[in-house]
Amino acid sequence: MIDNKKVLFSGMQATGNLTLGNYLGALKNWVTLSDEYECFYSVVDMHSITIRQDPAALRRRARSLLILYIAAGLDPEKNCIYYQSHVSGHAELAWILNCFTYMGELNRMTQFKDKAAKHADNINAGLFTYPVLMAADILLYQADVVPVGIDQMQHLELTRDIAQRFNGIYGDVFTIPEAYIGKVGAKIMSLQDPAKKMSKSDENPNGSIYLMDDADTIRRKCKRAVTDSLGEFRYSDEQPGLHNLIDIYCACTGLTPDAVVKEFSGSGYGQFKEAVGEAVVSVLDPLQKRVAELEKDKAYIDRVIKSNAEKATYYSQKTLRKVQKKVGFPSFS
Ligand code: TYM
C-alpha cells in the first residue's frame, strides 16, 4: 500500500514495433486502472537486451514507448512512468531472487522455449533468467495487481511462487501479486493466422496492426484479414478469424460480442471488416497525433523521466533494503 492505495505494476518491452495487441491487451487497461491504484509503469529496457539490439535504436524506441504511455492517457504526475535501467534495484533484487528460483521452473517457461528456438544462435543466460527479472520488477514495488495479456500469465504464476517461497523462509516480505486480465482483448491474434498471437516479431507484417500504422494501412490489413468460408456471422471458437475480429471490434468500441453479432448478422464479412478497420483507426489516430505532439516537447519528457526515476528509486529502495537485511547482507552503519 502507498498512501492507502493498492499498488499496480506493469511494463512493456521497447523491442520491435508495438502492436494493437499490446495496446488492447495491456496499455488500454492500464489507463482504466490508473485512478484506482498507485501505479508504476516501466519501459523494461533491461529485458530487451536478452535479444541483441542496436543501441541507438533501443534508446529511440524506449523513449517512444515512454511517450506512448503518456499519449495513451497515463498522467506522469500521478503515475510513475520510468525506464527500468534507471532504477538499479531491479537488477539487485533479480540477483537475490535468482537464488530462490529453480532451474526446473525456468526450464518450463514457454516464452523461453519460443525465444530460444527463434534465436538459436544467442541462447544467453539472461534469456533464461528473464522471468526472474520480471518477478523482481513486480515484487520491488510490492505490487498488488499486474495488468497483462494472457501470454504473461505463466511468468506471473512464477512470480507468485518465488514470492511465496521467500515469504515462507523470511516472513511476510513480499505482497503476493494478482494478474489483471481484461475482459476483451487479452489475447489478440494474428490477422493472417488466428492460431498465433499478434506479435511484434511476426515475419508477416499483414498479420499485425502496428500502433504507428497509418489509416489506409490499417484499413487494408483489416480488409485482408483471414476469416472462413462458413459465411455465418457468429462469435464461435470454430471461426477463430472472425472471433478475433469481433474481439478487436469490441475492445475498440466497448460493445459486447452479443451486440456485435446482432448488429452484423446478415451482413457479409467484408462489411464487418470495414467496420473493424474504422474502429481501429478511430482509436489509433488520436493516439498517434498525441504521440507526435509530445515528441516535440523534449524538455517536458526529460523532466518526467528524471522525476519519475527518482520516485521509483525511492520506493524500490524500501523493499530492497528489507530484502537485503533478511538474507543477511550487512548494513552500512
Ligand atoms: P511484452 O512487451 O511482450 O508485451 C507487453 C504487454 O502486451 C501484452 N500483449 C498482448 N495482449 C493481447 N494480445 C496480444 N497479441 C499481445 N501481445 C502482447 C502482454 O501480455 C504484455 O502485458 N515480459 C513482459 C514485460 C514485462 C512485464 C514486467 C510485464 C517485464 N516485466 C512486469 C508485467 C510486469 C513482456 O515481454 O511483455
Q: What percent of the chain has pLDDT over 90?
A: 89
The conformational region for residue 176 under phi > 0 = left, psi -120 to 50 = alpha, else beta, is beta
Which residue is it, cell 530492497? 320
Nearest partner of 289 among 185, 221, 214, 217, judged by Cα: 214
Which residue is it, cell 503518456? 70
Q: Which residues form ligand 1's pocket by a CB distance below 6 Å?
A: 9-13, 21-22, 25-26, 44, 47, 134, 137-138, 146, 148-149, 151-152, 186-188, 197-198
Residue 100 near residue 165, CB atoms below 8 Å: yes
pLDDT, residue 52, reads: 92
Q: What is the pLDDT confidence band of residue 269, given thresholds at 50, 70 and 90?
A: very high
From 37, 151, 198, 208, the mutation candidate for ligand 1 (largest count of ligand atoms within 8 A of CB) is: 151
pLDDT, residue 333, reads: 66
Sign for the pseudo-dihedral over CA of 94, 99, 101, 107:
positive
pLDDT, residue 332, reads: 73
Instruction: In whole angstroms, give the CA distance from residue 25 to residue 13.
Output: 14
Centroid of ligand 1 to alpha carbon of 315 (angstroms): 23
Three cell numbers at 111?
Answer: 516464452
Specify the residue with its C-alpha closest to ligand 1, atom 27. Answer: 11
Three cell numbers at 48?
Answer: 530487451
Instruction: In whole angstroms, give the CA distance from residue 217 to residue 231.
Output: 25
Residue 25 near residue 188, CB atoms below 8 Å: yes
* pLDDT tops 90 at residue 3: no
* pLDDT tops 90 at residue 203: no
* Neighbour tally for 67: CB within 10 Å: 21
* Neighbour tally for 262: CB within 10 Å: 12
**β partners of residue 5:** 2
Instruction: In whole angstroms, give the CA distance from residue 5 to residue 17.
Output: 33
Q: Does 12 or 17 have the greater pLDDT score? A: 12
From 41, 50, 51, 152, the mutation candidate for ligand 1 (largest count of ligand atoms within 8 A of CB) is: 152
Centroid of ligand 1 to alpha carbon of 264 (angstroms): 32
Instruction: Kindly state the average pLDDT of the residues 120-137.
Output: 96
Report the half-sphere exposure of 35 (CA within 13 A, side-chain side).
Answer: 2
Report the half-sphere exposure of 132 (CA within 13 A, side-chain side).
Answer: 21
Instruction: In whole angstroms, give the CA distance from residue 161 to residue 179.
Output: 13
Global pTM value: 0.93
Instruction: In whole angstroms, give the CA distance from residue 59 to residue 86.
Output: 13
Specify the residue with its C-alpha closest to ligand 1, atom 25. Answer: 12
Phi, psi for 19 (deg, rounded to 5): -110, 170
Centroid of ligand 1 to alpha carbon of 303 (angstroms): 26
Phi, psi for 145 (deg, rounded to 5): -135, 145
Q: Does 220 or 268 have the greater pLDDT score? A: 220
Catalytic residues, which ones? 115, 197, 200
Instruction: Kindly state the average pLDDT of the residues 75-90.
Output: 97
Three cell numbers at 231?
Answer: 459465411
* pLDDT tops 80 at residue 16: no
User: Mutual orientation of helices 55-71 and 269-296 as an angle, nearest 10°?
Assistant: 100
Q: What percent of the chain has pLDDT over 70?
A: 100
Residues 6+ apart with CB under 8 A from 29: 147, 180, 182, 185
Residue 245 near residue 222, CB atoms below 8 Å: yes
Q: Kindly report, residue by residue over 311-333, the tens digit of the pLDDT.
A: 999 999 999 999 999 999 998 76
